[in-house]
Structure 1
Amino acid sequence: MNDSSAGGSRASIWLINIVLLLICIMWLIPSLGLFISSFRIREDIQTTGWWTVLPHREYETVSVIEELPRDFDNDIAFTIPALGDTEALFDEWRAGVETPDGLRARWIGNKRIGRLEVQKKVWTVNWDFTIDNYRQVLAGKDFVYTRADGTEVTIPGDNFVGAFLNSIAVAVPSTIIPILIAAFAAYGFAWMQFPGRRLMFIMVIALLVVPLQIALVPILRDYTRLDLNGTFLGIWLAHTGFGLPMATYLLFNYIGTLPRETLESAFIDGASHFTIFQRLILPLSVPALASFAIFQFLWV
């Protein structure tokens, strides 16, 4: 029984390792191909696979035959005088015909103005690498490449760095501002006594059920009136307004559960509300602040 169970355990381990190895290979090969292709010239990416950077056998033209028969029937096999008795249909010549000496003859072009290339299979690698792809994406460099028909195409750069900096300029303030305001509001609702506290908190909770689409039209009208359309300030204010109710509610639930004795001890020592908020509430609320910061950043 022990030997059979040990054998079954070893077989399970081998099976698990093999499956994990296959999964790793399935993920690694495409990732490696993408990484290598990012350094290849655009023409090479469109015409050959990324694995051509590895040593491989490939046909290379060794000679070109210009004098070819032109008056032949496409449905009847014919020979090329320069190649001896090798006979094939026109479509076969265009696809490539193996010659007795191990070469390949391939008809390039159409029937009237085509040429015949004699090709030999040789070992080769394609190490023509470039960083122009990264310059185009990261720095906005215009990219010029030549198509198969000889025409040049200019592709404007994407300037991903600029887009990334714009995203940071929008996301970071739109995350920090509502969290700071909500933290002050949550502390006030949880530990301060003032007239209308319950009513104001109910109003904040009620804003959670207001669809964002209802507020968009009034906000856009106000932005147009205040000339805030297309500005960072307008985006920050919009995300702050939409994120405040949820942030205030979540932080209120957390700050309200902090030990009352800690705050009362601070009051006895003469600490003000701002000092308590700065020295006690914020350090103790870091988990809640970090959790909401993650969600707010993703929402933005």
Structure 2
Amino acid sequence: MSTPTATGSTWTFDAIGTSWAIDSAAPLPSVARDAVSAVIERFDHAWSRFRDDSLVTALAEGRAASVALPVETDADADADAMFSLYDELDRATAGAVNPLVGDSLARLGYDARLTLAPRGDARPAAAWRDVLSWSDGELALARPATVDVGAVGKGRLVDLVLAALAPHVDGDLVVDASGDLAVRGAAVRIGLEHPYDPTRAIGVVTVENAALCASAINRRAWGDGLHHVLDARTGVPVRAYAATWALADTAMRADALATALFFDGGPELAASWNAPWVRMSTDGRVEWSPGFPGEIFS
């Protein structure tokens, strides 16, 4: 997914293992940049399975059966927002989307050290409702397991960054975290990158005061056909679809739909949210929702 060149100022940086770009009419003041950095650090410390000191790593390694979610850092609010959304995703996709898919990913090599070296056959994720619980500022697991919020987490963080900028920045804003983006203000046209040829677009979409998120099997891919989008019921990478795009009122919901659209039930969930979408199958066919606010090239 590509964004047009900003006519104002663009702040680029790397965080949570990906590239970010924030477009604004004028350069961001230092207080705004500091607010963004603080939000990202707090979120990463809570939810990154790639950090030795994160809360979810403590749970995965069995160093704690439960962890406190400090209210002052909004981690408690994050947990309720993300896991409530996972509940919807789970039901819509008949269990294909699951926040305990981290162990399945690690088994295929997408582990905390990014070894990209599979160790054994694929395994399904644990039945997360039997293992994971959250309430009253606490996240708990009935047994050690790896929480991976990848289906919704980056979108959630984009929303948090946009909210952190709001008190400090007037006018139009685009927060882009390498394919998950939110637009405040004037409409922007976004190219939908072809999953097999990054020099081409399969279409364009107009985004105005909304969010657009994408997912593709060519990103975070390794080995012999391995990639990061797994069916939690089997632990095996998905094969039917190559890329998805979804629009929603928040980046977290758009991110969730971009994952759900790899499975049966995804389009129905998008329809229930009145959220436009596009997806491309691995044989090159493209589907899109009625009323999609853009153009798909033939």
Return the index of the structure with the highest Cα Rg.
1
Q: TM-score, normalised by structure 1?
A: 0.18
Higher helix share: 1
Higher strand share: 2
Question: RCO (CA 8 Å, sep 6+): is it higher in 1 or 2?
Answer: 2
